[in-house]
A and B are shown apart, each in its own frame.
Chain A
Amino acid sequence: MAPAGNVVQVHPVDHLLRYDRLPHIWCPGCGLGPTMNCFVQAMADSGIPLEKHVIVSGIGCTGRVPGYVNIDSFHTTHGRAIPFATGIKLANPELQVTVFSGDGDLFSIGGNHILHAARRNIDLNIICVNNFNYGMTGGQCGPTTPKGAKTSTTPKGNPEDALNLVRLMASLGAVYVARWSALHVRQLEKSMSRAFQKKGLTFIEVLAPCPIGFGRPNDLGEGLDEMHLYQEECIVDDNADLQDCSIDLRSHKPLVLGNFVDIERATYGEWDEA
């Protein structure tokens, strides 16, 4: 038994969460808990006062993150977090605005907005938790569902190709593009810290287990099994050719992680008068 003096009564991030709203609604084995933990740690270490941090989401499992983080937070309509966040950022540039949403929210229903926010290089941090399906509604196919994967709306296998999010975001000119998994918490937290330092639109994809919605129909096992899969199959390559970084969870194709893009580009409204 540890000496009484070493017993910690509160978790170090308790004050960063809306403790009165816990426990959260996410399923056992979900990747959102560790991802949110990385975010609040990076936020606390950012050197930016907490009252200047803002978090905005759309709808879905990931959309529930702002409700648990103890800062100014907005849970908007499905797919619309980015234009809402754009309004906040442009109206008050002092704020550090993070969009925290899922793959379906950001890239299916909200796909048009991420395209144009990246093109404009709005100074936003976008964290996309990719669980390869629509989890909140019970495991339907989405824009990141690997081809052939089974979901409740693709019972014989998904006939569509999946988006390669990091390649897409790099092509749109995002100033920072990274991919980690919910297992790679140290790297993910550092990545979020880097995003807070960057001026311009940053994008971090977080591969996250969804054992109930996606893991079960695709024989990926429990959340822990999918974490194990990340441990086995992930390789880190910051210089990877993003064209080769598509994801197929069911074959043994390596899952490529890394800090792929870190560049400078004039943000919205900045231009060289010369």
Chain B
Amino acid sequence: MIQVASTPAVLTGKHFMNGDIACAEGALAAGVQFFAGYPITPSTEVAEHLARRLPEVGGRFIQMEDEIASMNCILGASWTGLRTMTATSGPGFSLMQENIGLGMFTETPCVVVNVMRGGPSTGLPTLIGQADVMQAKWGSHGDYEAIAYAPSTPQEMFDLTIKAFNMADVYRQPVFVLGDEAVGHLTERVIIPEASAIPYMPRKKPPFAPGEGRIYEAVDDDLVPPMPLVGEGYRIHVTGLTHDVRGYPVTSAEVHDVLVRRLNDKIRLNADKIMEWESYLLDDADVCVVTFGSSARSTRHAVNVARAQGLKVGMFRLVTVWPFPGAEIARLSDRLKAFVVAEVNLGQVATQVQRFTSRPVIGVHHGGGEILRPETIMAAIEEAT
């Protein structure tokens, strides 16, 4: 193995680790300094690993009394300027939703990892689900736009967790990593690059001294206001009530509409810079299988088998499930016969795909508890071609 620069936070080199541990190491590489969480299968390894590793890099770990507290704790800590994170699974993600809304409305950066398991309710704690896609978008009340990454390998649990931290700081809002049990508990090779190769995109600091600017005024084209921190003398007021550019609560339909539109537009208008996907063998394809997370692994195998049989099929793998790359689906639709959507839920991404195409959309779905089998996806591909 080639020895390259390693720091306490960035364990440069080749590793054999599961997705949950890779996620924790990705967070450390991104500079996470604060984690608050509550044990829940199948994400507990993220917390356990950070409980040991965070003190090594001068960071802080706290196990809270529940997921509601965990979410609030990382929001509070974020206002001191630290990169903060929690990790959970379905039931905990449900409990966090109200305060995810607080994070969206107060524009507080943080990363929330949801290693999805079978739901609803307690469901299948130890087995895979991919049914929290819509919850990540619509889970808290009111209108907001989500950023959610869907890793399909332990390597991506590492890489996309870093991206999640950068997007959280750039767009000033909670960002989700939607892993799933199969990826979280899968052990594979993970390559950690040199510390200098880890991209770091910081928050914008206010360009004005305390008292000389309005802290919620978005003056830049990206619609993201710079973020003053607690303890710097800005005398900030941060409220979950509708607020004006000073942060003061205002009961006004006009102010509310302006604020909610800006919060949504800062993601909508920058979506092209956020959205990511992988196109696999799509150039000459008649059929495209849309998928994400661990389902992409079964899909890749099915596509390879289909290609070997001479079927013109490819894969469109969502790396960001939110923002959803609908325009790209529409573009693909022009030259395809049909879509197949493979996901461990009963049609959450399939209905999204249907919004952007008039071609047939064949769903390969499972309620949860096992990964999709390549032969099931293969059968749908044959039906589509």
What is A's interface to B at a CB cutoff of 8 Å?
18, 21, 51-52, 54, 56, 66-67, 70-77, 80, 82-88, 90-92, 94-95, 112-113, 115-116
> Complex: how many Å from CA A273 to CA B211?
46
Nearest CB in chain B: distance from A46 CB, A: 15
**In the assembled complex, B200 has its CB within 8 A of some CB on chain A:** no
Cβ-defined contact, A76 with B60, below 8 A: no
User: What 8 A-B pairs are tightest by C-beta distance, nearest first?
Assistant: A87-B76, A87-B77, A91-B77, A83-B69, A75-B239, A87-B73, A84-B76, A83-B72
Nearest CB in chain A: distance from B167 CB, A: 21
What is B's interface to A at a CB cutoff of 8 Å?
33-34, 36, 60, 62, 64-66, 68-70, 72-80, 82, 84, 98-99, 102, 230-241, 248-249
Q: Smallest CB-CB separation from A119: which chain B residue?
A: B65
Query: Which listed residue (A76, A86, A95, A115) contacts B230, Cβ 8 A?
Result: A95
A residues in contact with B60, CB < 8 Å = 90-91
Query: Which listed residue (B36, B98, B233) contacts A87, Cβ 8 A?
Result: B36
Query: Chain B interface secondary structure, helix, strand, loop or mixed?
Result: mixed
Query: Which listed residue (A80, A92, A115) contacts B231, Cβ 8 A?
Result: A92
> Complex: how many Å from CA A80 to CA B237?
17
B residues in contact with A76, CB < 8 Å = 72, 75-76, 99, 102, 240
Query: Which listed residue (A71, A74, A87) contacts B238, Cβ 8 A?
Result: A74
Cβ-defined contact, A73 with B237, below 8 A: yes
Cβ-defined contact, B99 with A80, below 8 A: yes
Q: Smallest CB-CB separation from A55: which chain B residue?
A: B237
B residues in contact with A54, CB < 8 Å = 230-231
Query: Which listed residue (B33, B75, B84, B233) contacts A51, Cβ 8 A?
Result: B233
B residues in contact with A52, CB < 8 Å = 231
Q: A77-B98, A87-B84 are in contact. Are A92 and B230 (CB under 8 A)?
A: yes
> Complex: how many Å from CA A88 to CA B62?
12
Query: Which listed residue (B64, B79, B241) contacts A75, Cβ 8 A?
Result: B241
Nearest CB in chain B: distance from A52 CB, A: 6
Cβ-defined contact, B230 with A70, below 8 A: no
B residues in contact with A90, CB < 8 Å = 34, 60, 62, 73, 77
Cβ-defined contact, A51 with B237, below 8 A: no
B residues in contact with A115, CB < 8 Å = 65
B residues in contact with A88, CB < 8 Å = 76-77, 79-80, 230
Q: Smallest CB-CB separation from A53: which chain B residue?
A: B231
Cβ-defined contact, B72 with A75, below 8 A: no
Nearest CB in chain A: distance from B142 CB, A: 13
Cβ-defined contact, A72 with B236, below 8 A: yes
Q: Smallest CB-CB separation from A21: which chain B residue?
A: B248
A residues in contact with B238, CB < 8 Å = 73-75
Cβ-defined contact, A83 with B64, below 8 A: yes
Q: Smallest CB-CB separation from B249: which chain A residue?
A: A67
Cβ-defined contact, A92 with B80, below 8 A: yes
A residues in contact with B233, CB < 8 Å = 51
> Complex: how many Å from CA A269 to CA B232?
26
Could you list 9 A-B pairs, sorted by A, with CB under 8 Å? A51-B235, A54-B230, A67-B239, A73-B235, A74-B79, A88-B76, A88-B79, A91-B84, A92-B231
Cβ-defined contact, B76 with A91, below 8 A: yes
Most buried by A among B77, B84, B231: B231
